[in-house]
Amino acid sequence: MSRFTVRTDDHLSVVDITDRVREHLPDDADGTATVFVRHTTAAVTVNERESRLLGDFETALADLVPDEGWAHDQLDGNADSHVRALLIGPSATLPVSDGELDLGTWQSVLLVECDGPRERAVDVRA
């Protein structure tokens, strides 16, 4: 298992971590790798990293899950972040061949920040 950190700048943002994941794969990895974010208000997914589409993801999450009106907000004010992360999930399982990610042409590994800005720990297991 290998771990790296990602610093996010906004409350809700999508960050391409594909190159960081590649750097943390063992040279002899073959089969699958799991990328896991160690937080309940962040998520990992695979999709296209085109800048307008990343903005669309952020807008869609904000539209789907209102910022306020949640019971958990009485505790620490970030229920929206937990719900957004819950919809996406904390991990992605990726194919690996000869130590390289075997992604489709337009696929990237994305960290979805739902409660930033923060520093996030990401594990790669292959």
57-106 pLDDT, tens digit per residue, is: 999 999 999 999 989 988 899 999 999 999 999 999 999 999 999 999 99
CA–CA dist 102, 79 (Å, integer):
35
The total number of residues shown for the chain amounts to 126
At residue 82's C-alpha, the angle toward residues 24 and 49, to 5°, is 45
pLDDT of residue 15: 98
| Total-model pTM | 0.96
CATH number given to 12-120: 2.60.120.460
pLDDT of residue 126: 96
pLDDT of residue 86: 98
pLDDT of residue 73: 85
